[in-house]
Amino acid sequence: MKQKIFKSKISQILLVAVLAVSLGACSLLSVANITSAGNNKIVNIGDSIFALSGKISDYLHSYAGKTFRRYCTSGAYLNGTSILTSFSISNQYDKAKSDYSTIDTVFMDGGGNDILIPATMYFDPNNCKKDWWESSLSSKCKASIDNIYVTTVNLLNKMGTAGVKNVLFLGYYHIKTGLIGTTSLNAAVDYGDTKLAQAVANASTLTGTKAFIDPRSSIVNSDIIIDGVHPATSGSQKLANLIWAKLKLLPY
């Protein structure tokens, strides 16, 4: 019995060590934050869809003729444990609020890593990979995504209570099989986008525009880089165009 407990403790320590190294690498694969911009009242938070190349911001800044603040980080999550505090999207918002308190508009994403990282690095504990013989997404994965829905509603309501008027929430597109991605996660993408759209709609404290932007019909395999997950230049431009269609209607 003691030997089993010892092995369990060693496994937990190794898992924490691998996680720390992995997320450290994620932080190095993020473009720099923009903490002071041409328009400080518009803020971008989220994960590596924005943060890996930064090209979505580049396109939006070009369209607007000015820069917006950016706090997104590769590896960022919505739900997580205490050892992941620095990778919380909620903490990105808190940092942006601390740097300049008046925020009118947030454009963002979130929730993808909550599914992707466990599924690809930790043997899919939530059973979010749907194999060819399975007729539907597992109830365990749906429950995990339902928790993400709750976290998202709470975060958006926190923003609205603090004065944020508008939120543009970028959903996730279907990924392809690559160095990280696998098409077996696309059922989870579909369910996740449904729940994220509901979260945006149900955020009651936002008084302005609240829009869920669904990119699934726009992004094709050629718009995704070799890892199977992140947008290529063409994908970044398509995503920026979808965001800009909403953002350009707001004061910027």
What is the residue-wise DSSP string for 18-72?
HHHHHHHHHHHTSPPPB-S-SEEEEEEE-SHHHHTT-HHHHHHHHHHTS-EEE--
Please give the share of the chain, as a percent, with pLDDT higher than 90.
80
Q: What is the pLDDT of residue 133?
A: 87
**120-135 as b/e: b if 16+ CB within 10 A:** beeebebbbbbeeeee
Residue 218's region, left for phi above 0, alpha for psi from -120 to 50, else beta, is alpha
Q: What is the DSSP string of 135-160?
A: SS--HHHHHHHHHHHHHHHHHHHHHH
Instruction: Flag the least confident range among 77-81, 194-198, 234-238.
Output: 77-81
| From 18-32, 85-99, 164-178, the region with the lowest mean pLDDT | 18-32
Q: Is residue 131 scored above 90 in pLDDT?
A: no
Residue 1 confidence (pLDDT): 47
Question: Which pLDDT belongs to residue 18?
Answer: 37
Q: Name the phi and psi angles at 231, rounded to 5.
A: -70, 140
- Each residue of 145-190: pLDDT tens digit? 999 999 999 999 999 999 999 999 999 999 999 999 999 999 999 9
What residue has token string 């690498």?
A: 25
As to burial, measured by CB atoms within 10 angstroms (0-12 exposed, 13-18 middle, 19+ buried), residue 81 is exposed
The confidence band for 80, taking pLDDT boundaries of 50, 70 and 90, is low
| pLDDT band per the 50, 70, 90 thresholds, residue 82 | very low
| 71 compared with 26, residue with greater pLDDT | 71
246 or 4, which is more confident: 246
**CATH code for the structural domain at 2-247:** 3.40.50.1110
Q: What is the pLDDT of residue 84?
A: 53
Q: Would you say residue 25 has pLDDT above 70?
A: no
Report the percent of the chain where pLDDT is more than 70.
86
What is the pLDDT at residue 41?
98
Across the chain, mean pLDDT equals 88
> Does residue 35 register a pLDDT over 90?
yes
